[in-house]
Chains A and B, each alone.
Chain A
């Protein structure tokens, strides 16, 4: 079983719609959760971090965390063509020892069509 799972997509949404990206993780002890955006041929860039259950909003982005279900999601409101990228979900590897190991999912490719 993969430690962090994402649907590879592509997820295609029209401009202005809400894009919903999902991620599940296997380590119940994980404490920290992140969404990185990676444009084609570029490096990953952190866009959201979330550390407690519930929602966290930042502009058009909302991260949602449900530790009981081991589920993290990212909502992008008013999607723009410039949001077209691969979105990587990342989780700290071992919540009990608080190591620096960050486990990434394979990423979901988002396409926003004008």
Chain B
């Protein structure tokens, strides 16, 4: 079975540009999570969805970040405009079991560099 799929794997952009990260969860998983990982702050939850509905976006750093899940097999995380401090690895994860939130399957991540 295919795992969580993310694209692109690497993204280099200039400050001020719009960045869109994409995620396809594992088929049948109703929960999708977006995380950001940096050396300074570790792995942080940005937002998560249940059945395509955003449930908790308290981790989204500011209005420049937005996330959507138009259907069960696709989600995007958009940064507009991007800033150098947004440079990080962004992971998408999914799970099917509401009783076991923490048993999540992570995608390979997108390494974002904002110059």
Contact = CB atoms under 8 A, between A and B. Distances in A.
A40 to B, nearest CB: 12
Given A99-B56, A100-B31, A44 B102 contact: no
B25 interface: no
A92 interface: yes
Interface in A72-114: 88, 90-92, 98-107
Contacts of A106: 42
A27 interface: no
Interface in A24-74: 32-34, 42-46, 49
A102 B42 contact: no
A43 B100 contact: no
B106 A102 contact: no
Interface residues of A, number: 23
A45 B3 CA distance: 12
Nearest to B102: A34
Nearest to B105: A46
B33 A100 contact: yes
Interface of A: 32-34, 42-46, 49, 88, 90-92, 98-107
22 contacts: A32-B100, A32-B101, A33-B102, A34-B102, A43-B91, A43-B107, A43-B109, A44-B43, A44-B106, A90-B102, A92-B101, A100-B31, A100-B48, A100-B50, A100-B101, A101-B101, A102-B45, A102-B101, A102-B102, A104-B44, A105-B42, A106-B42
